[in-house]
Homo-oligomer: A and B are copies of this chain.
Amino acid sequence: MALFYRDEYERRLALVRKRMEAAGVEVLVACDPANMNYLTGYDGWSFYVPQCVVVAGDAEKPIWIGRKMDVNGARHTTWIGEDNIIGYPEDYVQSPVKHPMNVVGEEIRRRGWGGRSVGVEMDAYYFTARSFVELQKTLPDARMVNADLLVNWVRLVKSDAEIALMKEAGRIAEQVMKTAIDRLEPGVRECDAVADVYRAQMAGTPQFGGDYPSIVPMMPTGEKTSAPHLTWTDAPYEDEQMVNLELAACRHRYHCPMARTAYLGKNPPEKLVSLAEHTVAGLDLTLAAIEPGMRCEQVEEIWRQHIAKAGLEKESRIGYAMGLNYPPDWGEHTASLRPGDKTVLAPNMTFHMILGMWMDDYGFECSESFRVTETGCATFADFPRKLFVKG
């Protein structure tokens, strides 16, 4: 059984069809696992083999095509019914001569859609170069159209049912961050602190459990704070050092990321304390200014003007749309809080605003996941915004 009621999926599908029409896409082949989930409910760790959901303008329901071994998983998790679940045989898996996208193309032809315009997600993680070539080969009469992010843009505005899950993720995120900060001590190995963070992510709360976030916990310290995507080691945390905490919680694939900074030791440098105060004040006032009708770039401008007063600047974007996702990223790759982004904020759009200020030898970051409301915005988690000093 799919996670949401059927009308939720039908509403999503109607919105996707509208965008397909505007983009001249008659048949959509969605390989992004989050888009597959969004349209059908399908949820499984099977995206390491090619799979997709096909949406045609005149077919009532989407079609799931995946490995035969995963057909039962599709039956368990989708709303689309037996006729729309198609498994390809085992000899298509990792074969140099056959490819699952041949099966997809043949199914599209079998349904009489082989001469149509076919939308593909050109930059989706699991739509490889070979997937594209093989699909084209099996559909010589189709016109290929780039439909990258077509479904993602529909995902930007969440339903109330989705928001409810993100609020649950927010409750778990509070536990995750509390666990991390409690556990951090000089002498504790990085891997042991990360181990407890993972446990908190999955154990969730007594009322509901957690799901795996799309990105692993990041808790760098020392000189590695300048290399944002290095993961942990088994070295112990040291005294009088900063630790960046980029963590998240997930509930049924819906995320609530959260970043904080901790200082291990009694004597945080004055410049770090001051940077933390500026940054938190900026986060507070930028969140307070958000309201529906604003453009994404305007949100960023409020922040930029604030830090300019302190003689600071930040190069990269300060936030991005997020929600439903699979590894390797929880971001939706649509709206960003950055100069030039004209997306107009609307209720139930959801973002992660992350303010990371990096100087030569120190830095501070603090973030909030939030949804736009009818009148402003509301964060998913409730956790102090400050520099955590563990002296």
Q: Which A residues form the contact surface with B (CB < 8 A)? A: 43-48, 69-70, 72-73, 75-77, 90, 94, 99, 120, 122-133, 146, 148, 189-192, 194-196, 198-204, 208-212, 215-216, 218, 223-224, 226-234, 315-317, 327-329, 331, 333, 336
In the complex the two chains form, is B70's CB within 8 Å of A228's CB? yes
For A190, the chain B residues whose CB sits under 8 A away are 209
- 8 Å CB contact of A191 from B128, B129, B146, B202: B202
In the complex the two chains form, is B192's CB within 8 Å of A209's CB? yes
| Subset of 27 A-B contacts with CB under 8 Å | A43-B231, A45-B328, A48-B215, A48-B328, A69-B229, A72-B226, A73-B230, A75-B227, A76-B230, A77-B230, A94-B336, A122-B130, A123-B130, A125-B126, A127-B128, A128-B128, A128-B129, A190-B209, A191-B203, A191-B209, A191-B210, A195-B198, A195-B199, A196-B199, A198-B202, A202-B232, A209-B234
In the complex the two chains form, is A333's CB within 8 Å of B94's CB? yes
* Distance between Cα atoms of A231 and B189 in the complex (Å): 29
In the complex the two chains form, is A73's CB within 8 Å of B128's CB? no
* Distance between Cα atoms of A73 and B220 in the complex (Å): 11
In the complex the two chains form, is B129's CB within 8 Å of A229's CB? no
- 8 Å CB contact of A46 from B46, B125, B195, B229: B229
